[in-house]
């Protein structure tokens, strides 16, 4: 059981027991191509320690509650989320919305939002079942796909289902079948250079999400015929190039922050380029409000990805990140509880879900957050 109902009754606070990061104890499947998608041991002596700066303050909990209420008000009768209230169903927005509910400790069987989560899961499974060989059936060319990449919604759906597997007995076979189908598509679309294309505004985010969803799926025990190393090498090359030729925050911040998530888990954590990038992210967080007050969906997602990484190390200067990003994100919340993107991905459902994932990151309720 993920939820401690006694604590809920006494304190009205959701409490979830810790669980195994390897996802329900299933051994990852190995192949010649995916041998580097297994979990990399963290050699840092300070890793996996509680981060004293990562606290959900009462104000943060209130912000999360308001954001969740708005997000659920946008849910359609078919279970899906669109880009905003009353908009057409969107696979990517629905999947990231489902991740948000999982990150609160809900499952399709337990939790205060189990029904809403179950309806989101139903929609994702129906949509994946209808995917054609060209994987474009019933998928509109949405803003998320235009900005992150043509398979961005599939990356998010894969990540969502991987975090659901093992938490829904009634759906287990359907979730696994859908996940196998999605993993095959994601693996097949990885390019020789390790990326997932460069046709969008933020292709780095596409590669990061491709890596993250395959890492999560491999931890579920699925066979992954793709290369984590080539993805990491491609991201490192871009990161090094940005270090030597720095642009403005809108061009660099989301790339650097999201890339850090992958490179940390691939043991680049002591590399000078990596450490310089982390220092720059921390400095931007402290001194520049623009990535927050002018954030688009790319930044909101990058906030979550880098927070996942920085919370894993009890390094004093890394501990400064979460309280900073927490408070700045809370200050940009709309009166109705949502968050709005100010450039590129402006979808309120996507931005709200990504902001909530960041605020809830210290919970570490998503298994992938510890990998």
Domain that holds residue 113: 5-18+25-370
pLDDT-derived band at 37 (thresholds 50, 70, 90) equals confident
What's the whole-model pTM score?
Answer: 0.87
Max mean pLDDT range (8-17, 69-78, 138-147, 254-263) = 69-78
Distance (Å) of CA 195 to CA 11, 192, 206, 297: 46, 7, 8, 20
pLDDT-derived band at 341 (thresholds 50, 70, 90) equals very high
**pLDDT of 22 over the 60 cut:** no
Q: How far apart are the C-alpha atoms of 303 and 307, rounded to whole Å?
A: 6
Q: What percent of the chain has pLDDT over 90?
A: 69
**pLDDT of 136 over the 70 cut:** no
**pLDDT of 290 over the 80 cut:** yes
Q: Supply the CATH number for residue 354's domain.
A: 1.50.10.20
Average pLDDT over residues 17-40: 47
pLDDT for residue 17: 34
**pLDDT of 45 over the 60 cut:** no
Q: Identify which has the larger pLDDT, 148 or 246.
A: 148
- Contact between 348 and 83 under an 8 Å Cβ cutoff? The reply is yes
pLDDT for residue 246: 63
- Contact between 100 and 68 under an 8 Å Cβ cutoff? The reply is yes
Q: How far apart are the C-alpha atoms of 365 and 368, rounded to whole Å?
A: 9
pLDDT for residue 314: 84
Average pLDDT over residues 11-20: 34
Q: Mean pLDDT over all residues of the chain?
A: 85
**pLDDT of 74 over the 50 cut:** yes
Our measurement of the distance from residue 189's CA atom to the centroid of its chain's CA atoms, rounded to an integer in Å, reads: 20
**pLDDT of 15 over the 70 cut:** no
**pLDDT of 3 over the 60 cut:** no
Q: How far apart are the C-alpha atoms of 49 and 45, rounded to whole Å?
A: 9
Q: How far apart are the C-alpha atoms of 253 and 272, rounded to whole Å?
A: 18
Domain count across the chain? 1
Q: What is the pLDDT of residues 300-325, one digit of tens each?
A: 999 999 999 999 888 999 999 999 99
Q: Identify which has the larger pLDDT, 59 or 137.
A: 59
Average pLDDT over residues 257-278: 93
């Amino acid at each position: 059981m993920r939820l401690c109902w006694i604590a809920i009754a006494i304190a009205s606070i959701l409490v979830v027991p810790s669980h195994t990061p390897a996802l329900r104890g299933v051994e990852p499947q190995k192949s010649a191509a995916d041998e580097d998608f297994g979990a990399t041991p963290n050699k840092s002596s300070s890793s996996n320690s509680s981060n004293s700066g990562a606290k959900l303050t009462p104000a943060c909990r209130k912000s999360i509650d308001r954001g969740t209420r708005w997000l659920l008000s946008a849910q359609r009768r078919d279970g899906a989320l669109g880009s905003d209230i009353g908009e057409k169903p969107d696979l990517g927005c629905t999947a990231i919305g489902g991740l948000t509910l999982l990150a609160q400790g809900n499952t399709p069987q337990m939790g205060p939002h189990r029904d809403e989560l179950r309806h989101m899961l139903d929609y994702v499974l129906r949509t994946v079942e209808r995917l054609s060989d060209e994987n474009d059936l019933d998928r509109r060319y949405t803003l998320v796909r235009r900005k992150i990449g043509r398979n961005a919604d599939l990356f998010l759906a894969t990540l969502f289902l991987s975090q659901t597997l093992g938490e829904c007995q009634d759906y287990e076979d359907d979730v696994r079948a859908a996940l196998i189908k999605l993993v095959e598509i994601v693996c097949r679309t990885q390019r020789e250079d390790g990326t997932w294309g460069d046709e969008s505004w933020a292709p780095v985010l596409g590669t990061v999400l491709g890596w993250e969803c395959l890492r999560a799926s491999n931890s579920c025990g699925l066979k992954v015929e793709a290369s984590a190393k080539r993805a990491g090498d491609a991201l490192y090359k871009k990161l090094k190039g940005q270090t030597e030729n720095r642009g403005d925050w809108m061009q660099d911040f989301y790339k650097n922050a999201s890339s850090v998530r992958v490179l940390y888990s691939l043991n680049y954590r002591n590399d000078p380029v990596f450490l310089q990038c982390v220092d720059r992210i921390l400095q931007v967080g402290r001194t520049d409000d623009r990535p927050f007050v002018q954030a688009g969906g790319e930044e909101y997602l990058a906030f979550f990805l880098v927070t996942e990484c920085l919370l894993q190390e009890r390094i004093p200067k890394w501990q400064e990140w979460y309280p900073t990003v927490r408070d700045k994100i809370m200050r940009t919340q709309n009166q109705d509880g949502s968050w709005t993107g100010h450039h590129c991905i402006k979808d309120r459902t996507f931005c709200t879900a990504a902001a909530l994932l960041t605020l809830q990151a210290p919970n570490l309720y998503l298994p992938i957050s510890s990998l």
